Amino acid sequence: MTLTTLKSYLIQHHQATLIDLAHHFNRDPETVKAALEHWVQKGKVKHNTLEACQKSCCKNAGLDVYEWLDA
């Protein structure tokens, strides 16, 4: 995984969860997160955390989502 391949993936998919990115690139989530921070600092990627829906059945609570802002 390079910064360029990460950028290309996010441009193509517009947004992705940290877990999806880690699986796609076969890397540890913390490694992917560190690479994503490069694009966040440049203002190209927005980081969001999905909040709990207050129901025990919600599986999206606490998911890190990254969105490409500048195509």
Say yes or no to pLDDT of 4 above 60: yes
8-26 residue pLDDT tens = 999 999 999 999 999 999 9
Which domains occur in the chain, in start order? 3-51+61-68 (1.10.10)
Name which residue leads in pLDDT, 19 or 63: 19
- State how far the Cα of 40 lies from the Cα of 60, in Å rounded to an integer: 22
What average pLDDT does the structure give for the chain?
A: 89
**H/E stretch holding 15:** strand 15-17
- For 40, other C-beta atoms within 10 Å of its C-beta total 14
- State how far the Cα of 42 lies from the Cα of 32, in Å rounded to an integer: 16
Looking at residue 47, what is its pLDDT? 95
Task: Give me the helix-helix angle, 29-41 and 3-13, nearest 10°.
Answer: 80
Average pLDDT of the residues in 50-62: 63
φ and ψ at 51, to 5 degrees?
-90, 160
